[in-house]
Structure 1
Amino acid sequence: MKISVPKPKTLTNENDPLYIIKTRKKTHNRAATIAGPMVRYSKLPFRQVCRDYDVDIVYTPMILAREFVRNGHARLADFTTCSTDSPLIVQVGVNNVADLLKFVEMVSPYCDGIGINCGCPIKEQIREGIGCALIYNPELLASMVSAVKQKYGDKVRLETKIRIHDDLEQTVELCNKVCDAGVDWITIHGRTRTTRSSQPVNLDAIKYIISQIKGRNVPVVANGDCFVETDLAKISECTGADGVMAVRGLLANPALFAKYDVCPWGCLEKFWYWAMEFSTLPFQLLQHHLFCMLENMQLQKPLLKEMMTLKNTVQLIDWFDKNFIFKRHNDEGFGVTVDIPYRNQA
């Protein structure tokens, strides 16, 4: 496959994330399906695999605006795309209007929307006024949203991804401010800054917030604890959200939204294909992606441990060929096998 250079985007119904989120319940009888941003893991090969399995919209990992706008090396390392990488939301970590406007100017021609990260709970980011710090600084967040929308209007779709406060009225107030500023949609992660991921997501909180801003005509995406396909309907129905975002669930099973309870083997073959086509993943990330998928498939534990001892991509390919019927892109039956095709099944 020849990797094509993306051309500047024009929003149509096919790639406009706002249109997709607003209409999926009518056109597909379900909420919009969204692959959320994951540090390191939401890179181009993984995004392409998700698109093969009924994911409507995919996010990049968070990109730090201050580095991106000042450093050419950071731009090359942080953002890779292609003509079929769409609809795509580029998520940004930012704490001032100037950096955000420069970032949008540089990135928006090559994506379908920008998402401001207001949910990252990492202490280093919060100290710099990035991520979760922004839900406690609604005036700054609203000013950044307003600056982008005043300059670009509907030419640039803009989202804010937030966490909830202990006092939900603060979250409602925050949502009202960004709605006033012109945000296109809001993603709500139903945990506070200090809630551990092992604790259940608060769907009732998301439902309450949606009920309080319903008259704003700004769609809401619910995020948190979407691990299997049935969670899509459960989260959507419980909260009333227009879209459902999965993150950890898709890392383990990129076919989650395509009604596969367990990651199918064909998904793994497709991931290998995209990883080799783009050659953008360091070996450790490639290995970890495969580990997550194979663990979800319940690969025999001795084999899983053995895979993690391998040191480079050549060893990894040889290991797959030795242990499995591992099809390449041009092989008949590529990407369609469901169960693990052990080569020497007892």
Structure 2
Amino acid sequence: MMKIGNIELKSNVILAPMAGITDKTYRTICKKFGAGLVCTEMISAKGLLYNDKKTHTLMDIDTGDTPVSLQIFGSDPDIMEKIVIEKLNKMDTFQILDINMGCPAPKIVKNGDGSALMKNPKLAGEIMKRVKAASTKPVTVKFRKGWNDESINFLEIGKIAQDAGIDAVTLHGRTREQFYSGKADWDSIRKLKENMDIPVIGNGDIFTPKDVLDMIEYTGCDGVMIGRGAFGNPWIFRDSNELLKGNEIEEAISHEEKLRQLSEHVEMLVREKPERVALMQMRKHAGWYIKGLRGAAEMRGSFNKVKTRDEMIELINEYIEKINKNS
């Protein structure tokens, strides 16, 4: 277990905030499988200030998923401070506030937000200091190793965060220039942990429960954040928790179980969003759930053609029947 401020997590295996992925439905699923903390998609501070409808949709949180971290991004200290005082402090649906200083997306960094803040440590520090001072909830920061190989400044950003009173930091062991390519540098996570007094959460190249254990043992980090490794694989939280307890992990997830979880995901998402929108979003999730299954290419093609919830559920049931007949 680990603590972030006054919030105690039941597990130190955490779901990363991911745009277009970690909506309320997927957070609920990962929480069910044992994620110690789930995080919203990143939310624009400016969007909150101007009451943007889409921004408020991203803030739809199931209180049963507690604890939840709400992630904001922006580069204007005045706006960041203002939305914390006027809006976020009044919300009781989330327990931890996270500042995004790691997103590499061009549309984010071109405005000076996300990982672009690592190029301006003074501004990054001002944002952290003012958000922390304004917030009634614990505040965390997620950042990268640096902007590029010529600008590796994670230690500097980490120290600034600690001096600003930030309650915990998450380090993705890649530079912004790398995006998600190459190998994550776990040495940077270890070095940051060695130089910090606040909790350090490691992120990058976590695809199996063994990776979770290896990262903790190698870096000494307090927690592990899982991003792409959770795509179509919420079981990674359950199995990671078991491995960390010293227990043996169950056998590989059966194809039928993966398809039944896919079916549940469809049902949940259709309840949360317009059917057409839900089915479009389920195409990518379906591809992840069925990866490695026999006939996955055929299934993917079929799922991409469905137009209703009933069609998709029927297809899933047909594939389950085929699996049972062939087993």
TM-score bracket, shorter-length normalisation: 0.7 to 0.9
8 A contact 2:232–2:288 mirrored in 1: yes
Cα displacement (A) at 1:297: 4.7
Alignment match, 1:131: 114
8 A contact 1:322–1:343 mirrored in 2: no
Choose 59-68 or 220-229, whichever is displaced more: 59-68
Distance 1:296 1:43, change over 3 A: farther
Distance 1:132 1:296, change over 3 A: farther
Cα displacement (A) at 1:317: 2.1
Distance 1:212 1:192, change over 3 A: same
Alignment match, 1:187: 170
Alignment counterpart, residue 208 of structure 1, candidates 183, 191, 212: 191
What SS is found at the alignment partner of 1:342?
Answer: helix
Alignment counterpart, residue 272 of structure 1, candidates 266, 270, 274: 266
Cα displacement (A) at 1:72: 4.2
Deviations 1:222-263 (A, max 9, x none): 000110111111011111110000010111301112126547
Alignment match, 1:84: 64
Choose 141-150 or 175-184, whichever is displaced more: 141-150
Distance 1:139 1:299, change over 3 A: farther
8 A contact 1:262–1:296 mirrored in 2: no
- In structure 2, distance between residues paired with 1:342 and 1:247: 29
Alignment match, 2:13: 33
Distance 1:68 1:194, change over 3 A: same
- One-letter amino acid of the structure 2 residue matched with residue 303 of structure 1: M
- One-letter amino acid of the structure 1 residue matched with residue 28 of structure 2: Q
Alignment counterpart, residue 69 of structure 1, candidates 25, 49, 53: 49
Distance 1:151 1:142, change over 3 A: same
- In structure 1, distance between residues paired with 2:137 and 2:32: 26
Distance 1:313 1:200, change over 3 A: same
Alignment match, 2:219: 239
- In structure 1, distance between residues paired with 2:168 and 2:41: 19
- One-letter amino acid of the structure 1 residue matched with residue 51 of structure 2: N
Alignment counterpart, residue 203 of structure 2, candidates 214, 223, 234: 223
Cα displacement (A) at 1:185: 0.6
Alignment match, 1:176: 159
- In structure 1, distance between residues paired with 2:156 and 2:179: 24
Alignment counterpart, residue 282 of structure 2, candidates 286, 310, 321: 286
- One-letter amino acid of the structure 2 residue matched with residue 308 of structure 1: N
- In structure 1, distance between residues paired with 2:269 and 2:56: 17
RMSD over equivalenced CA pairs, Å: 2.6
Unmatched 5+ stretches in structure 1: 1-12, 326-340
Alignment match, 1:107: 88
Deviations 1:316-342 (A, max 9, x none): 1222233325xxxxxxxxxxxxxxx73
Deviations 1:77-111 (A, max 9, x none): 32211221211111111111222123324234221
- In structure 1, distance between residues paired with 2:177 and 2:52: 35
- In structure 1, distance between residues paired with 2:314 and 2:324: 13
Cα displacement (A) at 1:124: 2.2
Alignment match, 1:317: 313
- One-letter amino acid of the structure 1 residue matched with residue 194 of structure 2: S
Alignment match, 1:161: 142
Unmatched 5+ stretches in structure 2: 240-249
- In structure 2, distance between residues paired with 1:218 and 1:193: 24
Choose 43-52 or 115-124, whichever is displaced more: 115-124
Cα displacement (A) at 1:273: 4.0
What SS is found at the alignment partner of 2:201?
Answer: strand
Cα displacement (A) at 1:200: 1.2
- One-letter amino acid of the structure 2 residue matched with residue 233 of structure 1: L
Find out whether 1:345 has 2:320 as its counterpart.
no
- One-letter amino acid of the structure 2 residue matched with residue 93 of structure 1: F
What SS is found at the alignment partner of 1:295?
Answer: coil
- In structure 1, distance between residues paired with 2:294 and 2:209: 18
- In structure 2, distance between residues paired with 1:284 and 1:257: 26
Distance 1:17 1:290, change over 3 A: farther
What is the percentage of aligned positions where both structures have the same residue?
A: 23
Equivalenced residue count is 306
- One-letter amino acid of the structure 1 residue matched with residue 106 of structure 2: K
